[in-house]
Structure 1
């Protein structure tokens, strides 16, 4: 089913970037929202896995929405032709992840709202187990499942909210034990065996209770790419809706396929979103210190880029693209 590209602006006041979720009487258990950009083959695999999983959950118990952000690879046409049971919103421009999600979320009529990346494949029982987990824990506002790589290897799928240590480790990677430690916002691999409260899950698989979303609003459209799930989960926590991890829902995540197509642009978008997130939720002192770390890290990354280019490990074009990205990040108003 092809839908037009509705705006959520009617659900907010002028100047606001967080639209409200219209209150409705839910018809379905689960509303799945996928935002796609240039991931045609992966999107098809994701939807095929969903078709099997949602039949397991129960025919008619779910709705699936795909919002395509003007992909030039024919993703929207693929959905329209091969997956007629999917509600399709085909944008004429790339509106960013948060705004595209909100286009679909605002039209859902489900008790629970599941954000999925197009580079995921859900295991047959994953959607049903996510619904069951929130049904059994009515005080929980949102949850994330167990993510694994394509070969089944462990993948970190939940994190603490950012600290200055995390800002530092992103730019000055030290020993792997530190990178995978609580100091860097990671949870121990052993903790993935049981449910527990977390800061936020990775946005590749995030289920939110509709009542909680009605209380805090939808995604902040001021985030074009990255950090929107951090912002949403932090608002949920502050409104009294805890966020949890559950091991009962496994999702294969191939990680970063859309952003990998434009690495330098994605890197700049990441730090633009982090700056917005820090300014929105953290103290001026934290923002100032984070800015000093980021600028020092960019200086170090530029030196490393020079070294890699001289060693022939980066082409001149790759090195130039990387330099532009780090110079632009340094120039942000930290």
Structure 2
């Protein structure tokens, strides 16, 4: 039985999956592991690349895009290891990072989830943990996203400086998340009502009841950030808001939920007025989500 199962959900990931799997082969040689990929009906060469170049990978192909959460749950059912690593196809494992993460979680019975320091392709710091989503973090996220485009931003430097040590956090990014299979099964895995976004925060919210969630910067993973979704910006924006609204209904109070709805109504109401035709249609769909039950 392997000691680690690496689970990857792909969707039109031909631009990144080869390098991702190569990085696993190169930097996880000392580990007994299995790699399982769930392909969400990719229209490109993703499945072909895996079949022809990585025959040792266990590939499952869906006839439709089931989303990140359900795809991962299907892989968890197929996994054979005590420890599960959820990994995005647009990531690169660096050095012995996964080996370090596995050693850390094995040495601590109280840790139920562990995440590494994520890096942008230029090796600059990428925020991969946070407080649980709420109105304050919504505001902070906007500031961080703008700062991330300015590599010399004082805000970004401050965050990076305060992210240099291992610490307990609320939630860590699902781009690279190590956890225990037994705990996952007890919790029922990811909530499949999340198609894309917020499923990792929701999972960590439930994992928190079982133990500690730890940010571990001694391990580094490069994250190219949503390569397969860049051409789908309007559609992914829709899924982001849909998942956000669902998360708030689950975990935040009525007041926060109401404020979020009012904020989004104003934001996208104005966007409908001042945007082009294509964007207007998507923004109208988001407005329709806001007040639906």
TM-score for both structures, normalised by structure 1 = 0.80
Displacement after TM superposition at 1:251 (Å): 0.5
Provide the aligned length of Structure 1 versus Structure 2: 286
> How many Å separate the matches in 2 of 1:174 and 1:29?
37
2:28 counterpart SS class: helix
1:231 counterpart = 2:202: yes
2:90 aligned residue: 119
1:268 counterpart = 2:238: yes
> How many Å separate the matches in 2 of 1:233 and 1:33?
17
Task: For residues 154-197 of structure 1, give each alpha carbon's deviation from its aligned partner in whole angstroms, at most 9, with x where no partner exists.
Answer: 111111111212334567999849xxxxxx9xx93223211101
Task: For residues 230-267 of structure 1, give each alpha carbon's deviation from its aligned partner in whole angstroms, at most 9, with x where no partner exists.
Answer: 11000011x23221100121111000112212111000
Counterpart of 1:54 (choices 21, 28, 41) is 28
Task: For residues 96-121 of structure 1, give each alpha carbon's deviation from its aligned partner in whole angstroms, at most 9, with x where no partner exists.
Answer: 11111111111111121111111111
2:138 aligned residue: 167
Counterpart of 2:174 (choices 195, 203, 207) is 203
> How many Å separate the matches in 2 of 1:123 and 1:95?
29
Larger CA deviation: 67-76 vs 167-176: 167-176
> How many Å separate the matches in 1 of 2:131 and 2:122?
26
1:158 counterpart = 2:129: yes
> How many Å separate the matches in 2 of 1:192 and 1:169?
16
Long gaps (5+) in structure 1: 1-26, 178-183, 307-318
> How many Å separate the matches in 2 of 1:174 and 1:301?
19
Instruction: Output the aligned Cα RMSD.
Output: 2.4
TM-score for both structures, normalised by structure 2 = 0.91
1:290 counterpart = 2:260: yes
The aligned runs of 1:92-107 (5 Å cut-off) are 92-107=63-78
Counterpart of 2:277 (choices 320, 324, 331) is 320
